[in-house]
Amino acid sequence: MGLNIAVLATGVPNDYKALEQAFLLKDKYPESKVAVFSIGACAAGVLREAMYRGADEALASDSFVPGCHDVVLCGCQCAEEIARLTSMTGLSCVVCVRSILSFSSGNIAVECVVENSIEESVLSLPVFASVDSSAVSCRPRNAYCLLRHNRGKSPQVSHAVALNAEQTCNGSVEVKECKYYQASDEGVRTFVKEILRTRVLQSADTAMSLKDSSVVVVGGYGVGSKETFDRLFELAHLLHGNVGATRPAVDAGYATRDRMIGQTGVVVRPELYIAFGVSGHTQHLCGVKECGVMISVNKDAEAPINAFADYSIIGDAREVIDKIITYCQQEL
Amino acid sequence: MNYYSDNEALEFYLKHPLLRRIVDMKEKGYGDAVGYDYAPTNFEEAVRGYEQVLELVGDLCAGTVAPNAERVEREKHTLEDGHVVYAPVTSENLKLFRQAGLMGVSLPRRYGGLNFPTMVFTMMQELVCRADAGFGNLWGLQDCASTINSFGSDEQKERYLPMVCAGATMSMDLTEPDAGSDLQNVRLKATYDSTSDQWYLDGVKRFITNGDSDIHLVLARSEEGSADGRGLSLFICEKSCGKVKTRRIEDKMGVQGSPTCEIVFEHAPAELCGSRKMGLIKYVMSLMNGARLGIATQSVAISQAAYSEALAFAKERCQFGKAVIELPPVYDMLGNIKARLDAARSLLYETARNVDMGYQFAELARERTLTPEERAESKLYSKIADALTPLVKGMGSEMVNENVYDAVQVHGGSGYMRDYACERLYRDARVTSIYEGTTQMQVVAAIRYATTGFYSQLVDEYLSFEPSQALASLHARVRAIANVYTEALEVVASFENQEMLDFLARRLYEMAGYCVMSALLLRDANACEELFASSLARFVAIGEAVVAGHSTYIKNFNVELLNKYKQ
């Protein structure tokens, strides 16, 4: 008696709560299979961790077909996604699950958090469920899974990422030589003078929509807060551009969904693209594949985006935004 | 924080050149790769696997076990209806390690184990004990399963080893109220009932670490009327039989992460492990050697924890307008802690490597007849392992006590308060020189390797390399203390008096310890100056002073002085 379980991961900590519920089900019904699907820009890390902790396979979102699984679990950040999928498929749905109690004859009993109290309910399979953030934490990595993975017998993760890149980007994202600027006052000032001033003069028309903007300023999860994200609007105003966001930034509530760029959001073709705190996963980059000049501000020099950026400033996005705004006001 | 990747010395010891041979022998042509998807296909992959798992352990230890260590002292284990209920944090730690698949680390894959060498298991144990020495005991007792693996029947292996890998806990039930160091005196009775073809155990065991374990290994008297070690056999007894009750949980000074129990066997059904009458002579010796290595590991681990705590405190604490680490009396203590820590660790992993090699040859001998060369090699590795095990257990545990003493001293008044971890480390360390054979018992086990000149031979061999220019003078100084030690041996031999030898044995043992450890650390420093050279210089300086002191004492010793000690 096994269940076919899917976990939808978007690359945020709550994914792990959903994973643990899937693993607990598998503990109880060992013949079950747990498949993890990446539906976020930053989910590659979660997918790898899922394999290290006991998932059976990790797959790209394209492979997810609603209706093929008995139970589909996701973190509480995905309540919206659940609503969309259930309305598409007409399947039963439950939110704020704290634990899954049992499974018998096509039904599943769950415990949900409803306005500060716990309620039990029974649902018929297949079911979509978002797991409450008060659910138990995820188990640690497992030595056997680590070794299995280490031996290269579970190439699903890298395969999934490669598949994604192939299907959605057609290999059109090329690796370029990137020029780096320092995050110091002088470095940012030079950057504004050398790069922004020339580019902005060339593309100085104010666009109406994000899709048609010639300058796009994008914030990722790395900007750290909604307050910092909001400063991007000041910069976009100075550069006569518009503001976009990555999936994790939207999930974190920094921006509204209509600003999302990438695989499941808007595709943009700006002449100038500046990314703050964006790591640069395929799912996001395929939404900007035809931009003119790509600039990245990221504290991690190894971030994937730097393989695609023309210019890069290595530093904390929050500090660099302030500096760029200051120098743009002086120099532009 | 990660206790593995934070500590470069560990990677150095993991990647010792002998590891290749150990792993090649252990993996036997990497044949398991066919039937087990987590088995390595070659040496490099095996080592990468060890590193990944060590990192996992290092993470769990720093992230969960260490923060839990303080809580376990407050929560305490309780006794309910003859059974132990672990403190909640202990259960949490155990659950974590079961989920992480770390319960059958060195057992063969066919029983669900990871098939890791002793070297790597030892390293994991260092990480766990650094976080919480008490939990380290509980977790480390899985090593008892190796005794079943070596000496049990196929049916026993198939029954018990998968249980261990799945997370069953173990205990080794040896000590009794009247049989501590003197295990020959064990009285717990094993009776064979021929009608039901079943052994039964009756009696009491005391001071049993994790005494309410799932699987007990019990030393019992199977030969009625016998009085010594030859009447003892080893038995396997399961908790699930319901006839083993915990009578009392000891209220002890430290290592509170594992309950220490007094247990009663009330006609408990048990299985004989291995052959009758070989219990103490063969199996408990094997069990004890593993356990002694475990305590040596625990000693190094607590030293590491004490050093980290003391160093951090000394950097932060300001007196007289500067951080106390800048004051000579303080950096004196810190430098000595680090030197003793590094030297003990060097000896620990040298011992573990030899235990591994000895074990691999014993395994090989079970499969086929060894060639004469292999037999000679096998004998040598086992002999080195047997000689170094009591040395590292005794020296390591005595040194950790010096280290925690100094670590508390570095903390000053704060170190006496429960607010700082070093107060717990101080108490935890104390038992290491007592259990699994007191230091005095280690001296008894080791002294023949001193008097026969085996330790001197080992030191010679360890010193037989061309040192780098920078280490040449230290090399000569280690050679010199080895000569002082050899002279002292000759002086004691010239007394031709067994009682004087027994009396002076501890001093000879310590001299041997300093010589062997200095030579080993010198070799490591020669391979990696950056990590070990400064500890080496300090350790040799301490060693010279100790060896000279003991030498003077021995030279001035005589029967009159011996008699003055008698109260």
pLDDT tens sequence for chain B (567 residues): 999 999 999 999 999 999 999 999 999 999 999 999 999 999 999 999 999 999 999 999 999 999 999 899 899 999 999 999 999 999 999 999 999 999 999 999 999 999 999 999 999 999 999 999 999 999 999 999 999 999 999 999 999 999 999 999 999 999 999 998 899 999 999 999 999 999 999 999 999 999 999 999 999 999 999 999 999 999 999 999 999 999 999 999 999 999 999 999 999 999 999 999 999 989 998 888 899 999 999 999 999 999 999 999 999 999 999 999 999 999 999 999 999 999 999 999 999 999 999 999 999 998 999 999 999 999 999 999 999 999 999 999 999 999 999 999 999 999 999 989 999 999 999 999 999 999 999 999 999 999 999 999 999 999 999 999 999 999 999 999 999 999 999 999 999 999 999 999 999 999 999 999 999 999 999 999 999 999 999 999 999 999 999 999 999 999 999 999 998
Q: Phi and psi (nearest 5°) for B131? A: -75, -45
Write out chain B residues lying below 8 Å of A153, CB-based: 37
Q: Choose among B311, B500, B270: nearest CA to B403.
A: B311
Token readout for B174 is 């040896």
What is the distance in angstroms between the Cα of B33 and the nearest Cα belonging to chain A?
9
Write out chain A residues lying below 8 Å of B39, CB-based: 147, 151
CATH of domain B170-277: 2.40.110.10
Sign of CA pseudo-dihedral B274, B276, B280, B281: negative
* Amino acid (1-letter code) at residue A322: D
pLDDT of residue A207: 52
User: B200 vs A229, B7, B261, B285, CA distance in Å?
Assistant: 73, 48, 21, 23
Beta strands B170-173 and B215-221, pairing class: parallel
Q: How many CB atoms lie within 10 A of CB B14?
A: 17
Which CATH number is correct for B449-565, 3.40.50.300, 3.30.70.100, 1.20.120.470, 1.10.340.70? 1.20.120.470
Give CA–CA dist A19/B129, Å, rounded.
30
Q: How many CB atoms lie within 10 A of CB B413?
A: 7
Q: Where in chain B is the domain with CATH 1.10.540.10?
A: 1-168
Q: How many CB atoms lie within 10 A of CB A197?
A: 15
Write out chain B residues lying below 8 Å of A155, CB-based: none
Beta strands B170-173 and A272-276, pairing class: unpaired
pLDDT of residue B349: 98
A38: alpha, beta or left? (left if phi > 0; alpha if psi -120 to 50): beta
Q: Choose among A239, A248, A308: nearest CA to A277.
A: A248
- How many CB pairs below 8 A link A and B? 53
Q: Which residues contact A57 (CB under 8 A, 6 or more apart)?
A: A33, A35, A36, A51, A154, A156
Which CATH number is correct for A170-331, 3.30.365.10, 3.40.50.1220, 2.40.50.40, 3.40.470.10? 3.40.50.1220
Domain B1-168 part of CATH 1.10.540.10:
yes
pLDDT of residue A58: 86
Calculate what percentage of chain A has a pLDDT beyond 90: 18
Q: Where in chain B is the domain with CATH 1.20.120.470?
A: 449-565
Average pLDDT over every residue of A25-51: 84
pLDDT of residue A174: 32
Q: Tell me if chain B has a CB within 8 Å of the CB of A146.
A: yes
Give CA–CA dist B349/B12, Å, rounded.
10
Collect contacts of B236-239 with beta carbons under 8 A, ≥24 apart.
B236/B148, B236/B152, B236/B156, B236/B160, B236/B270, B236/B271, B236/B273, B237/B201, B237/B265, B237/B268, B237/B269, B237/B270, B237/B271, B238/B214, B239/B212, B239/B213, B239/B214, B239/B215
Helices B372-411 and B328-367 sit at what angle, rounded to 10 degrees?
A: 160
Token readout for A139 is 């188990």
Span B505-554, pLDDT tens digits: 999 999 999 999 999 999 999 999 999 999 999 999 999 999 999 999 99
Q: Where in chain B is the domain with CATH 1.20.140.10?
A: 278-437
Q: Residue B40 and residue A139: Cβ atoms within 8 Å? A: no
Q: Residue A140 and residue B99: Cβ atoms within 8 Å? A: yes
Q: Choose among A151, A109, A148: nearest CA to A129.
A: A109
Beta-bridged to residue B319, according to DSSP, are B322
Is pLDDT above 70 for A269?
A: yes
pLDDT of residue A152: 57
Q: Residue A141 and residue B56: Cβ atoms within 8 Å? A: yes
Residue with tokens 């199996």: B283
Is pLDDT above 50 for A303?
A: yes
CATH of domain A4-166: 3.40.50.620
Q: Where in chain A is the domain with CATH 3.40.50.620?
A: 4-166
Is pLDDT above 60 for A159?
A: no
Q: Tell me if chain B has a CB within 8 Å of the CB of A143.
A: yes
Span A163-214, pLDDT tens digits: 333 333 332 233 335 577 777 888 888 888 877 877 665 555 555 678 888 8
Token readout for B170 is 């173990």
Q: Choose among B387, B208, B392: nearest CA to B293.
A: B392
For all residues of chain A together, what is the average pLDDT? 80
Beta-bridged to residue B199, according to DSSP, are B192, B270
pLDDT of residue A162: 35
Most confident of A3-17, A298-312, B64-78, B396-410: B396-410
Q: Residue A150 and residue B101: Cβ atoms within 8 Å? A: no
Span B376-409, pLDDT tens digits: 999 999 999 999 999 999 999 999 999 999 999 9
User: How does DSSP assign B371-383, residue by residue?
Assistant: PHHHHHHHHHHHH
Per-residue DSSP letter, A261:
B
Give CA–CA dist B296/B287, Å, rounded.
14
Write out chain B residues lying below 8 Å of A150, CB-based: 40, 45, 48-49, 52
Write out chain A residues lying below 8 Å of B33, CB-based: 151
Give CA–CA dist B365/A294, Å, rounded.
66
pLDDT of residue A270: 84
B278-437: CATH topology is Butyryl-CoA Dehydrogenase, subunit A; domain 3 (1.20.140)
- Is the peptide bond between A126 and the residue preceding it cis, with omega within 30 degrees of 0? yes
ipTM of this predicted complex?
Answer: 0.92
Q: Where in chain A is the domain with CATH 3.40.50.1220?
A: 170-331
Give CA–CA dist B257/B132, Å, rounded.
7
Q: Where in chain B is the domain with CATH 2.40.110.10?
A: 170-277
Name the 3-class secondary structure at A72. strand
Helices B328-367 and B285-316 sit at what angle, rounded to 10 degrees?
A: 150
